[in-house]
Amino acid sequence: MKRMVCLSLLLAGALILPAPVLADDDKVTITGEAFARTEYLDDFDDFDSNAGRSWDFSTYRIRIGLDFELTDNIDAFAQVQAHGLWGDSEFRASGDPAGGAVGQAPFDNDSLLLYQAYVNLNDLADGPVSLRIGRQEHVLGNELHLGDNSFYNGQFFDGVRAMIDLEKTDLDIFFYNVEERDITADFGGVPGSNDTKLGGVTANFEVAEDQKIEPYVLYYHDGSPAGPASYELYTVGALYMRPADDDRKFDWSVEAAFQKGDVNDPSACPGGTPCDLKSSIFEGWFGYSWGDDSRHRVHVGALAIGDGDDPVDAEFFMSIAPDTHRRAGAMDLFTEGPGTSFLGTDSFHNLTTYNVGYAFTGERHGVSATYHDFTLTEDFGAPADELGQEIDVIYNFKLKEKVGFELGVAQFMPDDVFVAPADDDPFRVWAMMKIGK
């Protein structure tokens, strides 16, 4: 059903566009990207060599988009995405000998959705303000708070974004309805606002050549369909960075944010609900590069999430919608990656990691190796805080301009925090083909 809805929307958009727009090739752009990835995971969810918890699977993601230039200052973009597992539909689904309508389950096991659909109103009244209205990706800085989750199935937001282009800075003001709950909750007699909402103001200042500062203020409200708001959080922070580039020897990034709010969640409040949330996050790295036709880069980095000394307050940092892949190792043990890990899906909230790495980038080949060390930011009285270490090695090959392959292997070595049955080092191996971006 979702497949038919999405395809119908694209077809309808094409039909209602004025004929001159469709006739002008310069005003319509077709975009596409895809990946297919095979993975093997060993002891990913228990660290126990006796459990025999090893498995492999293959995933895919395909995106097709249409970019329309409607007038000189109005354009629109629509993009559908299909993603899923190889084997999630039976091979007889198009003509099931057991009966049933063609196109029904198990075709419905595939996930196809309208991934992005927005209209840009550019340079309103010939001024510096542009509006983007609809479903859209939103990347903030280094994706510590808002990212596109590009390694997996993506991430989008429904709402309005105002982009203000000033002489020395760019401003963004946005409001998104992340999850609509009021319709079902209000009909069920639940009072208050139950939706999940996200809003914020961000800026981008170029303070020196190739250097920028991005301050931001974010508001996040996660309503509960069974009671008052579960989370109401304010995040204030800034990013200062000099991105890596082919003609630069030094690059760096320093980002810090503070978070304060109210929490009504028994699992997050050690002294009972409701409680205050006070926490912070820091991420930074420094890199040095050399070489001309081929580039070499070494870096050191750190990430520290969560702090505080009040045993009654919630002391973890509530990441809103980050892109966490490879942020704390390519295993993605400390994030919501390919499945719930032995560490649980909340392990990104109380974590400190240090990393050091080397990368080589040639015309067609690239390889990187990174070492990570993980500890708990707050041990909460536990006898140990050492989580473990991880080594990641990734190889990339560019077959053509927009066709490439990636091979990766990552291994995590548990440390003192883990007791029996943590007697095995889990690892992850993957091979991926990428087309498009």
How far apart are alpha carbons 212 and 249 in whole angstroms?
17
21 contact partners, CB below 8 Å, separation of at least 6: 27, 28, 68, 69, 70
**353 pLDDT higher than 90:** yes
36 belongs to a structural domain: no
Give the ranges where 360-428 is alpha helix by DSSP (H): none
Helix (H, G, I), strand (E, B) or coil at 57: strand
pLDDT at 154 over 60: yes
The pLDDT value given to residue 330: 94
How many domains, in total, are found in the chain?
1
What are the pLDDT digits (tens) for 31-68?
999 999 999 998 877 776 666 678 899 999 999 999 99
Contact at 8 Å (CB) between 307 and 378? Answer: yes
In which band, very low, low, confident or very high, does the pLDDT at 273 lie, cut at 50, 70 and 90? low
Residue 99 lies in a domain: no
Q: In the prediction, which pLDDT does 97 show?
A: 41
Cα(395)–Cα(400) distance, rounded to whole angstroms? 16
- Residues 93-139: tens digit of each pLDDT: 444 444 333 333 333 345 789 999 999 999 998 899 999 999 999 99
Q: What is the pLDDT of residues 159-216, one digit of tens each?
A: 999 999 998 899 999 999 988 876 654 555 455 567 889 999 999 999 888 899 999 9
- 141 pLDDT band, cuts 50/70/90, is very high
Higher per-residue pLDDT: 263 or 206: 206
pLDDT tens-place string over residues 81-92: 999 888 876 555
Kindly state the greatest CA–CA separation across the chain. 71
Residue 150 pLDDT greater than 60, yes or no? yes
pLDDT classification of 306: cutoffs 50, 70, 90: confident
Average pLDDT, rounded, for the chain: 81
> 50, exposed or middle or buried, with CB in 10 Å at 0-12, 13-18, 19+?
exposed
| pLDDT-wise least confident of 262-266, 289-293, 310-314, 332-336 | 310-314
Q: Encode 7-26 in three state secondary structure.
A: HHHHHHHHHHCCHHHHHCHH
Higher pLDDT, 118 or 267: 118
pLDDT band at 345 (very low <50, low <70, confident <90, very high): very low
Query: How far, in Å, CA of 281 to CA of 388, rounded?
Result: 20
Asked, for residue 106, whether it belongs to a domain, the answer is no
Positive or negative, the Cα torsion across 407, 410, 83, 118?
negative
Judged on CB neighbours under 10 Å (0-12, 13-18, 19+), 372 is buried
Span 306-316, mean pLDDT? 58
Which range marks the domain in which residue 274 is found?
123-285
Confidence check: pLDDT of 310 > 70: no
Section 426-433 average pLDDT: 95
Asked whether residue 143 is assigned to any structural domain, the reply reads yes
Whether pLDDT at 285 is above 70: yes
pLDDT at 266 over 80: no
Q: Residue 409's pLDDT band (boundaries 50, 70, 90)?
A: very high
- pLDDT at residue number 67: 96
Nearest-angstrom CA–CA distance, 184 and 201: 30
Identify the pLDDT of residue 102: 36
- Residue 271's pLDDT band, with cuts at 50, 70 and 90, is low
Residue 421's pLDDT band (cuts 50, 70, 90): low
Structural domain contains residue 435 = no
Q: What is the mean pLDDT of residues 244-273?
A: 83
Q: Quick one: pLDDT band at residue 318, thresholds 50, 70, 90?
A: confident
For the entire predicted model, the pTM comes to 0.84
pLDDT digits (tens, 9 = 90+) for 369-406: 999 999 988 776 667 788 899 999 999 999 999 999 99
The pLDDT of residue 6 is: 52
Q: Is residue 224 part of a domain?
A: yes
